[in-house]
Amino acid sequence: MGLITADLGLLVTAGGFALAFVFGLVAAKTNFCTMGALSDVVNMGHWGRMRMWILAVAVAVAGTSALSYLGLIDLSKSVPQRPLLPWLSLLCGGLAFGVGMTLAGGCANKNLIRLGGGSVRSLVVLVFTAIASYMTLKGLFGQWRAGFLDPVAINLAERGWSDQSLATALARATGLAAKPALLACAAACVAALTLFAFKDKRFRGNLQQVLGGAALGLIIVLAWVLTGHLGHGENPETLETVYFATNTRTLESLSFVAPLAYGLELLMLWTDKSLHLSFGIASALGVVAGSALYALVAGKFRWEGFASLEDLRNQLVGALLMGFGGVTALGCTIGQGLSGLSTLAIGSMIAVMGIVAGSVATLKFMLWKMEQE
């Protein structure tokens, strides 16, 4: 039985590394970056990368909803769909993350990709993001989060909600059964997102972006299968049914801020036998490895440092804001922007709105500042 447990844990961590490896490879090849996509829209009015991100969300929603409809995974147990809605934390955390990723020139995922391409600057950013993330989980920042932000929440369970998905909201409002409501919400969201993505002729003709967006969305779905179905089994020691090798002790898909903190903790407390390599940590390593392979094969591997003292300052401030914001908002541009949205969670939508608002405001301020100078 112990061997079975070890095999399930190994399956989840190895599978997480493999999926993230492909994610990093595809993201590096297609220059996938949420902050970059927002920058393209704000500064140039170009929607190509944003449409790729939207297509990835559409594919992720379609696949994840199908898994839930078929009963292969129980999304109500996932962190994004928990019936407690800490809306202030999600909004403030999203805003902080949006500002931070813009100052740092990219989110946690983008910095993992750049690290694979030889960016020492991104290594520094990721280390400080990990420190701030750990402080928000268990340290000083966590006291502020738990004391001031998290208590401002809506307990949907008290109102009879099983989770915080749009499907549940529709079911409560109309009297529809759970599965028809899920189908209706998923179909409407997927149709709207897909139509928006493909209405642009230039995007339709860009096969790399179309295939890239579809592949990244599919990886989010496969990660849910891995942790929520294949990695869901009986613990031989307690005889309880558990989710193996995830830091949240429930099903997860890709997310990169909190896993940085857990990775830092594992390195610092390596001899603590209660700590183990997890799905999240393995997936962060997988993105670096995948982007490194692409950079080496494409001849794009370059050592990169900080351009100036001002650049260093902006990157460090951005890293601290990303660490705090990513944990407070329960995810980053990938953790909430793809994985969270794929569950149709209302909280994920609040977090993503905060991230977008924080990033756009910072981009506009930076543009204004450049014009003044």
pLDDT tens across 142-187, in order?
999 999 999 999 999 999 999 999 999 999 999 999 999 999 999 9
- Is the pLDDT assigned to residue 282 strictly greater than 50? yes
Predicted local distance difference test score (pLDDT) of residue 7: 87
What backbone torsions phi and psi does residue 316 show, to the nearest 5 degrees? -70, -40
Cα first-last separation, the chain:
67
Residues 11-29, mean pLDDT to the nearest whole number = 98
- Is the pLDDT assigned to residue 197 strictly greater than 80? yes
Q: What is the dihedral sign for C-alpha 357, 362, 196, 81?
A: negative
Q: Which amino acid is at 236?
A: P
Q: Tens digit of pLDDT for each residue in 97-147?
A: 999 999 999 999 999 999 999 999 999 999 999 999 999 999 999 999 999
- Is the pLDDT assigned to residue 5 strictly greater than 60? no
- Is the pLDDT assigned to residue 32 strictly greater than 80? yes
Predicted local distance difference test score (pLDDT) of residue 208: 97
Q: How many domains does the chain have?
A: 1
- Is the pLDDT assigned to residue 1 strictly greater than 60? no
Predicted local distance difference test score (pLDDT) of residue 3: 43
Helix, strand or coil, per DSSP, at residue 161: coil
Predicted local distance difference test score (pLDDT) of residue 6: 58
DSSP per-residue codes, 192-233: HHHHHHHTSHHHHT-HHHHHHHHHHHHHHHHHHHIIIIITEE
Residue with tokens 């999240």: 280
Residues 37-53, mean pLDDT to the nearest whole number = 96
Q: Which amino acid is at 166?
A: L
Tokens of 248: 């949240």
DSSP state of 119: B
Tokens of 167: 């499907």
Predicted local distance difference test score (pLDDT) of residue 49: 97
Q: What does the angle CA 61 – CA 328 – CA 283 come to, to the nearest 5 degrees?
A: 55
- Is the pLDDT assigned to residue 4 strictly greater than 70? no
- Is the pLDDT assigned to residue 2 strictly greater than 50? no
Sequence-distant (6+) residues with CB within 8 A of 167 are 178, 181, 182, 184, 185, 186, 344
Tokens of 300: 């794009």
The residue segments making up the domain with residue 109 are: 2-372
User: CA-based diameter of the chain, in Å?
Assistant: 67
**Distance (Å, whole) CA 72 – CA 62:** 14
**Distance (Å, whole) CA 282 – CA 7:** 15
pTM confidence score: 0.96
Predicted local distance difference test score (pLDDT) of residue 373: 80
Predicted local distance difference test score (pLDDT) of residue 238: 74
Mean residue pLDDT of the chain comes to 95
- Is the pLDDT assigned to residue 77 strictly greater than 60? yes
Helix, strand or coil, per DSSP, at residue 56: helix
Residues 309-328, mean pLDDT to the nearest whole number = 97
Q: Which residues pair with 233 in a beta bridge?
A: 242
Least confident residue range of 190-204, 233-247, 324-338? 233-247
Output 237 or 135, whichever has higher pLDDT.
135
